[in-house]
């Protein structure tokens, strides 16, 4: 994860410091829980298609069941906040790609 530039992007988009820290923290926790996945590599691979499949039915699904002992609130409302964080990071990556192609 490109934490420094992501935080800068969030700041430029009027996201509070507390929310910035929360989003970064959740993304780090998600990366670690999913067998140390690299969310940048996953984006390049399939634009998060697979990672978003993990969130179906609040994480109670076949793809998520492949990860044993995951330290995430699977089956609970709080799990959707991790999806929100991943969506924000995807927006950041898409904005970065758009600004470099212009």
Asked if 79 contacts 58 with a C-beta cutoff of 8 angstroms, the reply is: yes
When pLDDT is cut at 50, 70 and 90, the band that residue 69 belongs to is confident
Residue 88 exposure: Cα atoms within 13 Å on the Cβ side: 28
What whole-number distance in Å separates Cα of residue 102 and Cα of residue 99?
Answer: 5
Asked if 34 contacts 63 with a C-beta cutoff of 8 angstroms, the reply is: no
When pLDDT is cut at 50, 70 and 90, the band that residue 76 belongs to is very high
pLDDT value at 72 more than 80: yes
Q: What is the pLDDT of residue 6?
A: 97
Q: Which phi and psi (to 5°) does residue 31 adopt?
A: -60, -45
- Model pTM? 0.91
Q: What is the pLDDT of residue 93?
A: 96
């Amino acid at each position: 994860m490109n934490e420094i530039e992501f935080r800068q992007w969030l700041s430029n988009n009027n996201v509070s410091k507390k929310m910035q820290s929360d989003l970064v923290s959740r993304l780090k926790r998600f990366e670690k829980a999913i067998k140390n996945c690299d969310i940048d590599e996953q984006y390049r691979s399939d634009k998060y298609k697979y990672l978003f499949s993990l969130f179906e039915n609040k994480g109670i699904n076949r793809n998520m069941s492949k990860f044993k002992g995951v330290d995430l609130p699977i089956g609970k409302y709080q799990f959707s906040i991790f999806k929100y964080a991943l969506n924000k990071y995807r927006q950041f990556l898409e904005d970065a790609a758009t600004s470099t192609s212009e």
